[in-house]
Structure 1
Amino acid sequence: MRRTHLIAPAALAAALCLPLTGCAGDTRAAEPEPVAPRGLTAQASSATSVHVMWNKAATGDITAYEIYRGKTRVKTVSADRLMVDITGLKPESTYEFTVRAKAEGGAASPLSRPVQVTTRKHTATDDEPPTAPTRLRARASGPRAATLSWRAATDNEEVTAYDIYQRGSRIHSVDGDSTAALVTGLRPGTDYTFTVKARDAADNSSRAGEAVGLTTAGASDGTDDASADTAPTGFRVGTHADDGAHHLDLSWNPPDTGGDVSEYQIHLNGRPATTLMWGAKAPEGRAEHSFFITREAGKTYRVKLRAKLPDGNWGAFSAERTVTTG
């Protein structure tokens, strides 16, 4: 007698799904893993710095890029930045750099192919800066980039790099043979003011050339996100007394710029009061700062702060808090 074997419906469904790429009961699609960025280059800007650039990762929902010197991660930048300056290096030394992409959820790509670069020779006796670049021109290249061009500077030795500044913050560098640069990582619908300085191998910098301004185009979806997500969050203010002096105690979460935020402007009662700059590495995660405010109890202050962003602009203000000493 031939026996008939019964298969439970759930087991049958599982069996049928095995050879198939998808079944009616499983609609989840695997997120593509990020691929290693390509086109990595490293340029020795001086005896102590290197400018690293790469191409945008081709696949994956990229949230950040991590830059490695050898096996050490030295920088993390947001997904819309494709370049970074690595400083504090030794003259006439060879370094190897790689970069990898990070996706939402924490998945990481393999490291890019490595590139090696040797920093320039330090000229200790060279204390003469280059002349300033002239005839700076700028045009917006879409909502998040700008193209700059200028006339070359001269130097008694050699111009090794040009540094691009936005409202006093250096945001990009190019080789000394270049007289143009594409600046990326900007924000849609935002006013920018650029200047350029020339630099030599001894890190002598010229004075800034003439400034030029532009406004980037609006976002492609019609929104203006110039201040979106740039405000510190979770801002808290308290006070404490120490030997007859009252201090303000601040804490906050830095805005998500993809990298360290090392400079903040603190406002009291609607006016700038002080600028906070971290002397060492900016804190990861929640930041804290305390400073003297008065020797009087019962004084009330309205407090808020904002961050200096990687593009050189100030971000949006945090929520304003009110606190009374004592």
Structure 2
Amino acid sequence: MTISNRLHFHDFQPALGDIKDDVLSGLQTEQKVIAPKYFYDAHGSKLFDRICRLPEYYLTRTEIGLLKQYGSEIAECIGSGATLFELGSGSSSKIRLLLDAVRPSIYVPMDISKEHLFGAASSLANDYDWLEIHAVCIDYSNSWQLPRSLQGNRRIAYFPGSSIGNLHDNEAHALLKRIAELVGVDGGLLIGVDLIKNVKLLEAAYNDRQQVTAAFNKNLLTRLNRELNADFRLERFEHQAFYNRDMNRIEMHLSSICSQFIQVAGQRFHFRAGETIHTENSYKYSIAGFHQLALRSGFAAVKVWVDRDNLFSIHYLESRR
């Protein structure tokens, strides 16, 4: 769909049946699980924007600080006139720093939340009158087929916010391989990666005092009630987030505070008191560990930028395909 001569919208949003199948399958496993991509309905996306502004949530402000401090070096690596893809673009706040520094010919924000994506892309189109924008509503965690109109030009992918940490090792490997195929020969990837650090600092970031993260986690149940005719009672579940040292990851769960039965899409599920739905992982990396993952996924490390407190890193990788 063409909105204007500079703004185009491509809707590949997952069908309701896809969500239903994923959720029912996840609730039937021994450890109940729902993929974190389903956090991002319109309200969930707004709650995540609030999380990014919380004092405990160091990730966003540290990444923005790195983009501001090293913007010229990043631009030198990427070069101008490229087609720039952003996976999980959200409110598109960080990309403005990159657009100003890099000045790509085409910008392709990719996000699963259609309403949020359309609003952010429209705002960017108003503010950047020299930029062609192709907004793509898509589940980038699965295989994708992008519009043919995006062929040509050197391709650069941008994957901010350490979203790669939401994926298990095999999932992260598969996604990086797809990104390597997307950008092709001479293409690149700029990616934010959270680092292993003090456990108290990590756990505070996911257990904020204002309980916005708890609301974000529970909003998943509200979405299931609305879209899958479920009957979750939010007051019967509590938010849990803790660091798993063995796996180097933060885990987020929704824990049932009592024994109860829940209906979801016509199916009945029993929850024991204390039983959880595992809703998200956030893996933390060492620099060397991430570079090893990148290398076996088709990328060679070119440059890495780290803040002075060693909280967060931004990597520029080049495709080896």
TM-score (norm: length of structure 2): 0.24
Higher fraction of strand:
1
The structure whose residues are more often helix, as a share, is 2
Whose relative contact order is higher, 1 or 2, with alpha carbons under 8 Å and at least 6 apart?
A: 2
